[in-house]
Amino acid sequence: MKLEYVILFFVLTFFGCKNESKKTQEFNVSNGKPIEIKYATGFSVINYDNYKILEIKNPWPDANKTYKYILINEEKASKIAIPKNEFDGIIINPIEKIVVTSTTHIPALELLDVAETLIGFPGTDYVSSKKTRSQIDKGLIRELGKNEGINTEVLLELQPNLVVGFGVNGKNRTFETIKKSGIPVVFNGDWVENSPLAKAEWIKFFGALYNKELAAEAIFNSIEKDYLEAKTLAENTTYKPTVLSGAMHKDIWHLPNGNSTEAQLLKDANTNYLWANSKGTGSLAFNFETVFSKAKNADIWISPSNYESLEALKNANPQHTMFDAFKNKHIFTSNNTTGKTGGVLYFEEGTTRPDLVLKDLIKICHPEVLKNYDLYFFKPLE
C-alpha cells in the first residue's frame, strides 16, 4: 500500500471515530428543564440543549403505556446518535406539514398562527372555523375520509411530518400503517383530562411541536385568567339556579356525571346542577321517571342532547314538555351555532376556550353579572 493511501486511511478512520463519538456524547438526558404545566396530567415536555422529550401519559382511559417522543430539528438530528429504541417516534420540528384528526386540535393551530401547516383532515365538513374552512375551500387541506378509517393512500401522498391522532383504546390499524411508513403518530389526550383548564392547557403540546412554547404559555395564561375571573364573578352571586341537562333517547336519559368537565363548568358558574354529587367522569343513564322526579321544576335546561328546536324536542318525546324549563322556554343549546357546512362550533372551540363556555353559562344562569357579554356558543332553543 502506498504511503499516501495509508495516511488517508488513518485520517478518515480517526475523524470518523471522532465524529461518531461526538454524536454519541451529544445525546444527554440530564439537566433538562420541563415546561410548566398547571392542570393537565396527560403530557409533559422537557427541554434539553439540542432537543425536547415529549411524553404522552394517558391518551385514553386506562391506558397502560406512556408514549415517548423526541422533538428535534433536522440539522441536530443528523449530528446526534439518537437511541431510536427508547422512543415511539422521532419528530422533526418545527412542523411544516401536519395532519390532525379532531376539530378540537384546530383552534390551537390557529391561535399559534400555524394553521397553514394543516394539510389533511378526516371529515372536513365538521370544521367550523372560517379561517380553516377558507383553506379547505382553496384545496389546501385534503379530505381524508373518517377518523376510524383514514384514507392512508391520500395521507401517504401528502407526506406530513406528523399525524396527531386520538383513540379510545389504542387499537387503530390505520395509525399502525401510517407509523410503519415512517410518519410519526402522536395521540392527543386532551379529551381524557378531568377539568376544563386541563383540557385547554394542551395548547402547550402544540406549542412544543412548533417551537412556540412562549406563545402557547401566553395564550393559555390569558384563557386561564379570563376563566378564573369569570368564576369569581359567579361565586359572588347569591342565587343558584337549578339545572337539568341531556334528553331522552330510546327510553334512556343521558346526562353528565358529577365529576365530568360539564358538571365542573356548571359548578364554576355557581349553579345547582341536580346531579353534581354523582361520582364519575362519564355520563349517567336514567329512565324518564327518575329524571322527572328530580328535575321537573328545574330553572334551566342546558344541552338537550342534539335536538335543535322545541318542536323537535317535543316530537321526540312528548314527556319533554312536562318540565318547567320547557314550559318557560329556559332551554339552551350549543348545537345551533354552526359553521358553513354544519360543524358545531362548541365541539371545535369549546375544549380550547373554556373561558367562553363558562361565560356563556354565567350569562344564562346569572344574566345580571355579564350585562355586556353576548352568548358565544349557546343559544336559546327556539
- Clarify whether residues 63 and 196 are in a common domain: yes
Asked if residue 14 belongs to a domain, the reply is no
- What does the pLDDT look like over 261-312, one tens digit per residue? 999 999 999 999 999 999 888 899 999 999 999 999 999 999 999 999 999 9
pLDDT at 339 over 50: yes
- Residue 133, number of CB atoms within 10 A of its CB: 18
Please, which pLDDT band fits residue 9 given cuts at 50, 70 and 90? very low
Asked if residue 2 belongs to a domain, the reply is no
Q: Is 0.75 surpassed by the pTM of this model?
A: yes
- What does the pLDDT look like over 343-371, one tens digit per residue? 999 999 999 999 999 999 999 999 999 98
- Clarify whether residues 260 and 144 are in a common domain: no
Please, which pLDDT band fits residue 7 given cuts at 50, 70 and 90? very low
- Clarify whether residues 52 and 188 are in a common domain: yes
- Clarify whether residues 219 and 242 are in a common domain: no
DSSP 241-290: -EEEE-EEETTEEEEE-TTSHHHHHHHHTT-EETTTT---SSEEEE-HHH
Provide the domain count of the chain.
Answer: 2
Return the CATH number at 190.
3.40.50.1980
Asked if residue 9 belongs to a domain, the reply is no
Q: Which of 199, 223, 247 is the last residue of a domain?
A: 223
Q: What is the pLDDT of residue 243?
A: 98
Domain that holds residue 318: 237-380
Asked if residue 4 belongs to a domain, the reply is no
- The phi and psi torsions of 153 (rounded to 5 degrees) equal -65, -45
- Clarify whether residues 38 and 64 are in a common domain: yes
- Clarify whether residues 258 and 282 are in a common domain: yes
Asked if residue 316 belongs to a domain, the reply is yes
